[in-house]
């Protein structure tokens, strides 16, 4: 027994005594142990006694300066496990992110890393691999999602990241992601679109498109709209499923003003549905994916190039801006999160802005006369 204790305190590689707190565990295995706050011991194994002693010295200094952080929770958990937990607990209502952005994280090699190895360098590698396959805007969205997951883990789950390894301050985002899309309907494109949609086997397709342009709702919001969500007397819509669904869960459904054009469309549709019940969906257009396919076919049929359904939200926002000149009021109607988000969707026609300037000049000249 005495021989075993003695031999454990001698480094077989050098024949010298091992540093206090370092134990020889076998060939190329030196375990360093240190007592931390609360009396608990932490340990780590190294390939040499020199490395083990260096870790002990560094850890002791951090403890004395109050800078020590126990990273063991980061060693025991992988990026995949962290993302899976976030999906389970925080993303029940964010279907688009779950189906689109989350898989790109889990299918990348970064998912296999232990959290202790999730460094800005590792995230930059993830960014560069994404950039080979996706647009700058998509890369930014996925980096921001990873950063949000890490930040949530720091704030809510007490994971001891010293800093968010995916934050924009640590990992530069690709250029060009903030470029605004400015596709709007021009000339007779609105009429051509409606004419094409009128040939759809789903009669509500036309009204669905018109409603999107009149009210400015997102596709998912209009798809899940039910008759009980419409208050014609108060001119209001109650939206329980929005892009910021977590807020709806906390504060209740989002109430938005019902625009006159949208109200006329809904009243006409209600007149056709005399047997409709409050819980029935307003628009009968089938599944979201099936409608997306039909919309793509109809835009091609109408000869409309590079038009997505989401572009109709740009169109609606720009049209509504003529009515609601106060951006705060406009944001209440469209449901944009903030003024910055609203600015991305407001795309006035150049000729409209020029006409405003001409009209202003004419008014001033009349006043002077």
For 294-304, the pLDDT digits (tens) are 999 999 999 99
| pLDDT score, position 7 | 47
| pLDDT score, position 126 | 93
Q: Which of 97-106, 136-145, 188-197, 319-328 ranks highest by mean pLDDT?
A: 188-197
User: What is the residue-averaged pLDDT of the chain?
Assistant: 81
SS3 content of the chain, % helix, strand, coil (to 5): 55, 10, 35
Short-list 307, 323, 153, 84, CA closest to 333: 323
Supply the pTM of this predicted model: 0.56
For the chain, the domains span 2-68, 75-156, 189-355
Under CATH, which number does the domain 2-68 receive?
A: 3.30.730
Question: Which range among 5-14, 81-90, 99-108, 169-178 shows the weakest confidence by mean pLDDT?
Answer: 5-14
| 4 pLDDT tier (thresholds 50, 70, 90) | very low
| pLDDT score, position 346 | 62
At 219-234, the pLDDT tens digits run: 889 989 999 999 999 9
DSSP state of 59: H
| pLDDT score, position 109 | 93
| 348 pLDDT tier (thresholds 50, 70, 90) | low
Q: For the chain, where are the E strands, in sequence order?
A: 22-26, 29-35, 41-46, 230-231, 236-239, 254-257
> Can you tell me the distance from the alpha carbon of 218 to that of 222, in angstroms, rounded to the nearest whole number?
6
At 317-337, the pLDDT tens digits run: 888 888 887 888 888 888 877
Cβ-based burial of 354 (10 A; exposed 0-12, middle 13-18, buried ≥19): exposed
| Choice between 254 and 365, residue whose per-residue pLDDT is larger | 254
Q: Which of 21-25, 90-94, 338-342 ranks highest by mean pLDDT?
A: 21-25
Q: Is the dihedral of CA 222, 231, 247, 170 positive or negative?
A: positive
Q: Return the CATH class of domain 189-355.
A: mainly alpha
| pLDDT score, position 89 | 86
pLDDT beyond 80 at 353:
no
On whether the CB atoms of residues 209 and 193 are closer than 8 A, the answer is yes
**77-91: average pLDDT:** 89
DSSP state of 255: E
| 58 pLDDT tier (thresholds 50, 70, 90) | confident
On whether the CB atoms of residues 262 and 215 are closer than 8 A, the answer is yes
| 3 pLDDT tier (thresholds 50, 70, 90) | very low
| Choice between 152 and 248, residue whose per-residue pLDDT is larger | 152
Q: Which residues contact 259 (CB under 8 A, 6 or more apart)?
A: 214, 215, 216, 320, 323, 333
| pLDDT score, position 367 | 57
Residue 18 φ/ψ, nearest 5 degrees:
-75, 150
Instruction: Tally Cβ neighbours within 10 Å of residue 176.
Output: 11
SS3 196: helix
Question: Which range among 52-56, 117-121, 190-194 shows the weakest confidence by mean pLDDT?
Answer: 52-56
pLDDT beyond 50 at 2:
no
Q: Which residues contact 41 (CB under 8 A, 6 or more apart)?
A: 33, 34, 35
Instruction: Tally Cβ neighbours within 10 Å of residue 225.
Output: 23
> Can you tell me the distance from the alpha carbon of 172 to that of 127, in angstroms, rounded to the nearest whole number?
9
| Choice between 367 and 11, residue whose per-residue pLDDT is larger | 11
DSSP state of 113: S
On whether the CB atoms of residues 45 and 25 are closer than 8 A, the answer is yes
pLDDT beyond 90 at 45:
no
| pLDDT score, position 69 | 64
Tokens of 109: 């090699």
pLDDT beyond 60 at 270:
yes
pLDDT beyond 80 at 205:
yes
Residue 117 φ/ψ, nearest 5 degrees:
-95, 5
> Can you tell me the distance from the alpha carbon of 173 to that of 143, in angstroms, rounded to the nearest whole number?
8
């Amino acid at each position: 027994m005495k021989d075993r204790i003695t031999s454990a305190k001698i480094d077989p590689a050098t024949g010298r005594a091992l540093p206090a707190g370092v134990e020889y565990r076998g060939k190329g295995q030196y375990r360093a142990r240190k007592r931390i706050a609360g009396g608990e011991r932490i340990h780590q194994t190294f390939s040499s006694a020199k490395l083990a002693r260096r870790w002990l010295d560094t850890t002791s200094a951090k403890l004395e300066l109050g800078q020590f952080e126990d990273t063991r929770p980061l060693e025991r958990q992988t990026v995949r496990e962290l993302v899976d937990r976030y999906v389970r607990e925080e993303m029940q209502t964010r279907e688009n992110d779950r189906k689109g952005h989350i898989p790109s994280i889990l299918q990348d090699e970064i998912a296999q890393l232990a959290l202790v190895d999730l460094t800005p360098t590792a995230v930059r590698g993830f960014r560069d691999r994404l950039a080979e396959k996706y647009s700058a805007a998509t890369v930014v969205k996925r980096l921001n999602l990873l950063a949000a997951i890490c930040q949530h883990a720091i704030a809510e789950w007490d994971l001891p990241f010293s800093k968010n390894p995916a934050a924009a301050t640590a990992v530069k985002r690709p250029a060009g992601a903030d470029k605004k899309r400015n596709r709007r309907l021009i000339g007779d494109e609105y009429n051509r679109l409606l004419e094409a949609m009128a040939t759809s086997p789903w009669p509500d397709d036309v009204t669905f498109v018109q409603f999107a342009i009149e009210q400015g709702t997102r596709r998912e919001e209009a798809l899940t709209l039910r008759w009980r969500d419409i208050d014609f007397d108060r001119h209001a819509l109650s939206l329980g499923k929005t892009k910021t669904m977590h807020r709806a869960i906390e504060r209740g459904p989002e109430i938005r003003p019902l625009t006159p054009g949208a109200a006329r469309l809904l009243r006409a549709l209600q007149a056709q549905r005399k047997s409709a019940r409050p819980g029935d969906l307003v628009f009968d257009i089938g599944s979201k994916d099936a409608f997306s396919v039909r919309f793509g076919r109809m835009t091609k049929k109408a000869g409309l190039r590079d038009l997505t359904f989401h572009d109709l939200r740009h169109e609606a926002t720009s049209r509504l801006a003529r009515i609601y000149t106060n951006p705060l009021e406009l944001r209440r109607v469209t449901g944009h999160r903030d003024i910055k988000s609203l600015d991305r969707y407001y795309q006035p026609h150049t000729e409209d802005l020029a006409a405003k300037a001409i009209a202003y000049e004419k008014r001033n000249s009349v006043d002077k006369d």
